Amino acid sequence: MVRALLNAASGASESAGETPIDDERLQTLVLMSALYGANKPRERLDPQALYEEMAELRHAVWHHLRGQGLAPQTATDRILRFDRALSTALRAALSVSG
């Protein structure tokens, strides 16, 4: 799932007027998220653990982007796309865990 999130975040540049996440990347992300969510029953969902897991993912993405030496605007665009991809992934994971 992490690889699908990073792949979605590395998509087209929004500042160039392109689609933030193409259909193929979005489908892969939703599929990986659904598989991930299928292993986490909703009745045992711990909101704090979920928040901490998302924070760890964001930290890993920042570490990855920082290591690439991207221009500030490019890094910002990828962070914003990652955040939208993470929201999509979370909704997909939760929709199958209930």
**Residues 12-26: tens digit of each pLDDT:** 544 444 445 677 777
Structural domain range at position 58? 2-97
Domain count, the chain: 1
In a 3-state reduction of DSSP, which class is residue 98? coil
| Burial class (CB within 10 angstroms; exposed 0-12, middle 13-18, buried 19+) of 34 | middle
Residue 66 tokens read as 């920082």
Place of tokens 């690439």: 68
Residue 79 has pLDDT above 70, yes or no: yes
Identity of the residue numbered 49: A
Q: Which has the higher per-residue pLDDT, 11 or 14?
A: 11
Place of tokens 């982007």: 65
36: left (phi over 0), alpha (psi -120 to 50) or beta: alpha
Highest-confidence segment of 9-13, 22-26, 65-69:
65-69
